[in-house]
Amino acid sequence: MRELRYNPLTGQWIMVSAVRRERPWRPSGFCPFCPGGEETGYGWEVLLLPNRFPMLSFEAPKPEPIEFYRKARALGQCSVIVESPEHDLKDLDELSQGGMVKVVKLWREATAELRGNPHVAYLAIFRNKGEEIGVSLTHPHDQLYALPFIPLRVRLKLENSRNHYERHGECLFCRILNEELEGRRLVYENRGFALFMPFFASWPFEVHIYPKRHVMWLTQLDEREIEDLADAMRVATGVLNEVLGREMPYSMMVFQAPLRGNYPFYHLHVEFYPLLRDNGRIKYTAGIEMGTWEFTYDGVPEENAERLRRACRRVTKRLGAVGGCPRRP
């Protein structure tokens, strides 16, 4: 079985796939993402592979209709982006700058290719790190879901940014960026991108990356901006792994505008959701978060942003970062 089921209470589509039950959990023996495998071969630096256990497929069958609830074909693509041939890299901050650039360029190429597919409405590029998150294979990788619908979270961002644009004549993301560039939550900036903890952070060490130029898609970034985004990604992960003196489990999402249509009020951005609130202490999404989707924040975001800045100053030299970490009173 592979199908989409619609939740009429929230307006969300649920991806249902029986094949997902078969995916391995941290298998012993040969890693399927290492060089020399049946799918990988040799002589590559970054690789796009089909997910062996996909939620979506362009070959998905049409589901049988039922009387009340809505179903739809699970059309789309699920892919794995293998970020390096090196199996033991722990995170993106251990990639070279050139290696990270190749990853970002592959994101851009996938976006360009899928924008022409009539079955794809939205491209979700995301990364999970850590056993606490549920990562089943430890070889460094991120993932790509080409979705036939626009996810609810993105629809909410589109609605709010459209309303702000119509009311004030400015991009909401650009306004947020300007506020954070002058505020106490800025962690790092280079020529083209800013890394900051947002005023409205939900996770204790949540950080976002915004391009300074207003763009909607990765395909609009020039070569220098690709370099700057790669630099900011390495710094972001380096800071998260430094701030508590241990590897930080997290989820990361690249947010672009939907692939069909034009959205002048929307702005490309990246969000990191780190799982720890202190060393060895997990930020659980419990009753209030799960039941209402409203988060509680244990602490003060500005104080945690200062901890991230101190970590930033320790890692930028090691990474050869091109930007800097501001000092705030």
Amino acid at 208: H
pTM exceeds 0.85, yes or no: yes
Amino acid at 65: P
Structure confidence by residue, pLDDT tens digits, 129-172: 998 898 888 999 999 999 999 999 999 999 999 999 999 999 99
For residue 24, what pLDDT is reported? 66
Residue 73 tokens, joined: 């074909």
- Rounded Cα distance, 326 and 180, in Å: 12
Structure confidence by residue, pLDDT tens digits, 183-240: 999 999 999 999 999 999 999 999 999 999 999 999 999 999 999 999 999 999 999 9
For residue 151, what pLDDT is reported? 98
Q: Where are the alpha helices (DSSP H) in 169-222?
A: 172-181
Confidence band for 112, pLDDT divided at 50, 70 and 90: very high
User: Is the model more confident about 293 or about 328?
Assistant: 293
* pLDDT of 42 above 70: yes
Confidence band for 18, pLDDT divided at 50, 70 and 90: confident
Structure confidence by residue, pLDDT tens digits, 43-63: 999 999 999 999 999 999 999
* pLDDT of 21 above 80: no
Residue 325 tokens, joined: 């970490």
* pLDDT of 329 above 60: no
Confidence band for 279, pLDDT divided at 50, 70 and 90: confident
- Rounded Cα distance, 130 and 137, in Å: 10
**pLDDT above 90 covers what percent of the chain?**
88
For residue 156, what pLDDT is reported? 98
DSSP state of 65: P
Mean pLDDT of 62-78: 95
Active-site entry in 87, 139, 141, 208: 141
Amino acid at 91: D
Question: Which domains, ranges and CATH numbers included, belong to the chain?
Answer: 2-319 (3.30.428.10)
Average pLDDT, the chain: 95
Q: Catalytic annotation on 269?
A: no
For residue 283, what pLDDT is reported? 93
For residue 237, what pLDDT is reported? 98
For residue 149, what pLDDT is reported? 98
Neighbouring C-beta atoms of residue 181, cutoff 10 Å: 15
